[in-house]
Amino acid sequence: MSNTTWAKVRQDLHRIAELSEHEYQTAKRIAKELRPFQPDLLIENLGGTGVAAVFEGDEAGKTLLFRAELDALPIQEINNFDHKSVTEGISHKCGHDGHMTTLLALAEKLHRENLPSKGRAVLLFQPAEENGEGAKAILADPKFEQIEPDEVFAWHNLPGYEMNSIILKKDNFNAAVKSIIIKLHGKTSHAGEPEKGINPAPALAEIITASLEYSNNDPERKDFTLVTPIHATMGEIAYGISAGYAELRLTIRTWSESEMAKLEQNILNTIERITNKYGIPVETSWTQEFSANFNTSDTLEKVRQSSEFLGLQTFHKKIPFKWGEDFGLFTQKYPGAMFGIGSGLKTPALHNPDYDFPDELIETGANILLEVIRSNQ
């Protein structure tokens, strides 16, 4: 297909944006686009709505897995172009429509060039990246045993960098991220007699203040930690009632899994100490968990060499990105690399309501991944 045709496919995927774990139309369209390229194995309903296309060589060799994401975000699109999302309040504002199309373009190249000649190339279209559940579901699915990889690769478009520049990062590419839900079960009473109840306000305030003391927010430090309160609620808007229930949600970030374990335990110890002080029963649970993406030197070198062979400018980032990405669950288990491709200095930021994936990145991404496969032949 031509670049123009792949742009149309990308725009079609943009129109039918679907949320995490509900990517039914998207997965169906992906499978339809893959079939003409005759993968040796096409696995559907993998980890939910996931799709995997396997291209096998005639000789034994490594299995390389390349991942794209199926899901969109709960963001109302403000663009007015023809391919705007048809679903109210849901749109592709992270570029997953472009990532998917890049793998489809790669599938066409593998079919046309009869690659790989040895080993296997697995193109994985993963559900539910945005809520951190997709990689977990893929790895837990027994069908994944058919495509157990030796190395794993993924990329992300990056606004704020020169178009088609390649962003590389040794070791950790981005942060480990977790979010905690804290529920404080006090006792409701009359607002004029708060002593007859247990108002959670003092405990809520103290937990927020104490948790923030664990945050240094200095990306230069190896023990970088970031604690961000994202939501708090307490009681009802009823002036005669002293609140009896409160809920707090925090997001925590570190550069490594070991630092994450320390921060997690510190937060839990703090919550226990404060709630014991005020005699308030508490429930805690974790959600939206993203492991740090760790790039091994060998896999990252394949990406670097492939990019430079194609004449693309490479940029080595010194500090990881602060955002989470559930591909980290793959790179914690398999040797792998995640890298970025610049999507323009003036492109709206990811998750902005006016963001749109630049179609010219499709060919760039597909060519880099193709060269990675060729390096394995």
Secondary structure of 335-372 in HEC code, one letter for each residue = CEEEEEEECCCCCCCCCCCCCCCCCCHHHHHHHHHHHH
For the stretch 38-46, contacts whose Cβ atoms lie closer than 8 Å and that sit 24 or more positions apart, written own/partner, are 38/111, 39/107, 39/123, 41/146, 41/147, 43/143, 43/146, 43/147, 46/124, 46/138, 46/141, 46/143, 46/144
Q: So what's the pLDDT on residue 2?
A: 60
pTM recorded for the entire structure: 0.94
Domain locations in the chain as residue ranges: 3-173+292-374, 176-289
Residue 28 to residues 132, 135, 137, 293, 295: CA-CA distances in angstroms? 22, 19, 18, 29, 32
- Positions of the chain with pLDDT under 50: none
Over the stretch 298-336, which tens digit does the pLDDT of each residue have? 999 999 999 999 999 999 999 999 999 999 999 999 999
176-289 fold: Alpha-Beta Plaits (3.30.70)
3-173+292-374 fold: Aminopeptidase (3.40.630)
Classify the phi-psi angles of 344: left when phi > 0, otherwise alpha if psi is within -120 to 50, otherwise beta: left
Q: So what's the pLDDT on residue 67?
A: 98
Choose among 319, 323, 268, 248: nearest CA to 292: 323
Cβ within 8 Å of residue 275, ≥6 positions away: 184, 203, 281, 282
Choose among 327, 328, 182, 176: nearest CA to 253: 176
For residue 27, give the 3-state DSSP assignment: helix
Q: So what's the pLDDT on residue 3?
A: 65
Q: So what's the pLDDT on residue 4?
A: 67
Q: How far apart are the first and last CA of the chain?
A: 25
